[in-house]
Amino acid sequence: METKYISQGGLAQWFESIVASGKRVYAPVNSRGQVDFKLVKKLSEVADDYIQTTQSIKASVYPKAEVLFTYEKEHGKVNLTDFDPDTIPETVLWKVHPCDAAGFKPLSAIFNWDSADKLHNAHLVKTSVISFSCAKADESCFCTSVNGSPGNTAGSDVQLTVLPDGGAIAEILTPKGEALVALLPSVFEADRGDKKEQCLVDLPARFSLEEVNAKLNKAFNSTVWKEQSERCIGCGACAFVCPTCACFDIQEDVHGSKGRRIRCWDACGFALFTLHTSGHNPREHQSQRWRQRILHKFSYMPDRLSVVGCTGCGRCSRACPVDMNILEHITSIAKQ
């Protein structure tokens, strides 16, 4: 790891050189009253004054719908065309928040749980992450309660901490980060000794993960799930904006003798998600589905995959039409 200084002008030049290198660059853009990651060509397109993008960057490594393979029947034979990792273009994610970058680890833990997931891993290999540490937060943010922080570098290849002069502290964290810096090394100056901590938002932890985990281990039959989920209307907004939710569905798109097998986003909050062919649904009620959501993130994943399934980005709380506030719910479980 190496720390450098980059001036405001240097940042603009570096951004231009990344775009010029032919890599796809995705960055937060403000349009239609929402800030979300979009393909950009110019730094001027990148949004400035916002706390969080509506959607996470999950789609860059786990697309909403992706073709696993295509097939065609011909004279009694089936020709398969497998997913080709070489079709994935080199991608740079610019201005990612640490809570989004931290989402890669839990996502990958799920996708590589039993066997290596070719598609997800192909995206990961081709993706470089330039994160920006957080100088601002809102009441939905709680990264510091889930092993994160406004300056957490996990999942980032380069992290920039913007300084009052418009320049930034550049932490070059991985070989991918070094390769990005190598596109225009001249703009990276010697570290001036700026203090990163002084540029970060102060966000005290709201609960202890160990405490929550211990409570959850005994909470399967608790009445808390029913109490908390009464107002939940069972949509998938929370899951779809989440950086770590990985529930998927496998679908066939068949046209005559040709077809595609598609993996697309699904949500454990949907009634259809666990419905068996027999008609039996092991998670028949919304309260059971809410329990699954919380236990999966805060109990099953830490226990089985050694990673917490929440990065504290707060998107689910912001997106929920009925104010199912995850921080409030987890805090109340911790206090029980």
Partner 1 sequence: MKKLRDRAVALLDEGTVSLVIGYEEGTKRPRPLFCRNSETARKLIFDSRCFHNLAVYVTKKELVGKERFAVTAPISTLRSILQLYVENQLSEDKLLVLTVDTSGELREFVTFDEISAYVAQFEMKRGEREQEILAKIEGMTREERWKFWMAEMSHCFKCYACRSACPLCYCTKCVVEINRPQWINPWPSPLSNMEWHVNRAMHMVGRCTACGACGDACPVGIPIDLITRKMMEDLAPEFGYIPGQPAKQGNALSSWKLDDREQFIR
Which of residues 85 and 234 has its CB atom nearest to partner 1 in the complex? 234
**64 touches partner 1 (CB under 8 A):** yes
**282 touches partner 1 (CB under 8 A):** no
CB of 66 to partner 1, least distance (A): 9
For partner 1 (CB under 8 A), the number of binding residues is: 40
CB-based burial of residue 326 (10 Å sphere; 0-12 exposed, 13-18 middle, 19+ buried)? buried
SS3 104: helix
Can you read off the two tokens belonging to residue 259?
Answer: 């077809």
Query: What single letter denotes the amino acid at residue 333?
Result: I
**256 touches partner 1 (CB under 8 A):** no
Residue 5: which of 206, 214, 171 has the closest Cα? Answer: 171
CB of 267 to partner 1, least distance (A): 7
**230 touches partner 1 (CB under 8 A):** yes
CB of 265 to partner 1, least distance (A): 7
Residue showing tokens 């540490």: 133
**241 touches partner 1 (CB under 8 A):** yes
* Plot region of 280 (φ>0 → left; ψ -120 to 50 → alpha; else → beta): beta
CB of 321 to partner 1, least distance (A): 4
CB of 184 to partner 1, least distance (A): 34
CA distance 217 to 215: 5
Which of residues 55 and 152 has its CB atom nearest to partner 1 in the complex? 55
**235 touches partner 1 (CB under 8 A):** yes
Query: What single letter denotes the amino acid at residue 65?
Result: A
Question: Any idea what DSSP says for residue 299?
Answer: I
**285 touches partner 1 (CB under 8 A):** yes
Query: What single letter denotes the amino acid at residue 62?
Result: Y
Which of residues 192 and 231 has its CB atom nearest to partner 1 in the complex? 231
CA distance 219 to 321: 26
By CB under 8 A, which span of 92-100, 148-156, 269-277, 289-297 interacts with partner 1?
A: 269-277
By CB under 8 A, which span of 19-27, 191-199, 267-275, 293-301 interacts with partner 1?
A: 267-275
**330 touches partner 1 (CB under 8 A):** no
**65 touches partner 1 (CB under 8 A):** yes
The three state secondary structure string of 151-184 is CCCCCCCEEEEECCCCCEEEEECCHHHHHHHCCC
CB of 326 to partner 1, least distance (A): 10
Composition of the chain by helix, strand, coil, percent to 5: 35, 25, 40
Q: Which of residues 161-220 bind partner 1 (CB under 8 A)?
A: none
**259 touches partner 1 (CB under 8 A):** no
By CB under 8 A, which span of 123-131, 144-152, 179-187, 320-328 interacts with partner 1?
A: 320-328
**272 touches partner 1 (CB under 8 A):** yes
CB of 143 to partner 1, least distance (A): 17
Can you read off the two tokens belonging to residue 135?
Answer: 């100088």
CB of 302 to partner 1, least distance (A): 25
CB of 212 to partner 1, least distance (A): 19
CA distance 236 to 263: 17
SS3 221: coil
H or E segment and range at residue 192: none
CB-based burial of residue 45 (10 Å sphere; 0-12 exposed, 13-18 middle, 19+ buried)? middle
| Binding positions for partner 1, rule: CB under 8 A | 32-34, 36, 54-55, 64-65, 139-140, 230-231, 233-237, 239-241, 249, 251, 253, 262, 264-267, 270-272, 285-286, 317, 319, 321-323, 325, 328
